[in-house]
Amino acid sequence: MGKFVDLTGIKFNRLTVRQYYGQSKHKCALWLCDCDCGKTTIVRTADLKNGHTKSCGCLFIETSISKLPDDVSGVNNPNYKHGGCYERLYNVWCGIKDRCNNPNKENYGRYGAMGITICPEWENDYPAFREWALTNGYVEELSGKEMSIDRIDSNQGYSPDNCQWVTLSENVARRNYDYWETVHANQR
C-alpha cells in the first residue's frame, strides 16, 4: 500500500475534494467531493486521478442531452415514425390489425378467421389510415362520445370504401340490429 496523499482542496474536472471519507471494502481511499453543480459525491482516489469520475453524474446527463436531436419527439429524431402512438386513433388502427391478423387475439375468430382483412393501403401505414380517418368524420372527442369505426358491409374487410365513423353507441345498436335480423331471418 502506497503513502497516503491528502487530496483535500484539489480540483479534478468538476469535483473539488472536501475531505477524506474513509476506505472502501477493498481498502481504497474514498473522498467526499463537491461538484460544480452543487451536489456532493464520494469518489475513489484512482477514479479522481485517472479522470474516470469527472462529476457527480451531471456531466453525463448534460452530454447525453446534448447528443439528442433538437426535437426529441419529432421528425428530427432518428427513431421517429409517425408520432401517433399516443393518439386514440392509433389504438383503433392497432385493434383493427390485431382482429384481422393476429390469431392469438380474442376477437380474431370473428374477424381474421372469418376472412375479414385490412386493406394493404392501411395495413402498414398508420399515417394513411389517420389521414383517411380525419377527412372522413373521425373526431377525437365528441363531447364524451367516442367515435367507432364501422364496416358498412359487415362481410367485407376494413378499407376506405367500406368504413365509416359512428359513435360507439350507434355501432353497438347497429351490431345488435344486425344480429337480431340474422337470427329472425333464419327462423322464417
Q: Are residues 94 and 170 in the same domain?
A: yes
Helix (H, G, I), strand (E, B) or coil at 169: helix
Q: What percent of the chain is predicted at pLDDT more than 70?
A: 77
Residue 34 covered by a domain: yes
Q: How many domains does the chain have?
A: 2
Residue 60 covered by a domain: yes
Q: Are residues 101 and 24 in the same domain?
A: no
Instruction: Write down the mean pLDDT value for the chain.
Output: 83
pLDDT greater than 80 at residue 172: no
pLDDT at 61: 83
Find the range with the poorest average confidence among 11-20, 78-87, 150-159. 78-87
151, three cell numbers: 364496416
Q: Are residues 51 and 122 in the same domain?
A: no
Q: Are residues 94 and 62 in the same domain?
A: no
Q: What is the mean pLDDT of residues 35-57?
A: 94
Q: Are residues 101 and 143 in the same domain?
A: yes
pLDDT band per the 50, 70, 90 thresholds, residue 148: confident
Q: Are residues 97 and 149 in the same domain?
A: yes
pLDDT at 4: 84
Quote the CA–CA distance of 164 and 143 in Å, as a whole number: 19
Range of the structural domain that residue 107 is part of = 88-187
Q: What is the mean pLDDT of residues 42-56?
A: 94
- pTM tops 0.75: no
Residue 74 covered by a domain: no
Q: Are residues 94 and 174 in the same domain?
A: yes
Q: What is the mean pLDDT of residues 88-112?
A: 92
Residue 53 covered by a domain: yes
Q: Are residues 55 and 101 in the same domain?
A: no
Quote the CA–CA distance of 65 and 84 in Å, as a whole number: 23
Q: What is the mean pLDDT of residues 134-161?
A: 84
Q: Are residues 50 and 108 in the same domain?
A: no
Residue 93 covered by a domain: yes
Residue 180 covered by a domain: yes
Quote the CA–CA distance of 36 and 131 in Å, as a whole number: 50
pLDDT greater than 80 at residue 140: no
pLDDT at 170: 81
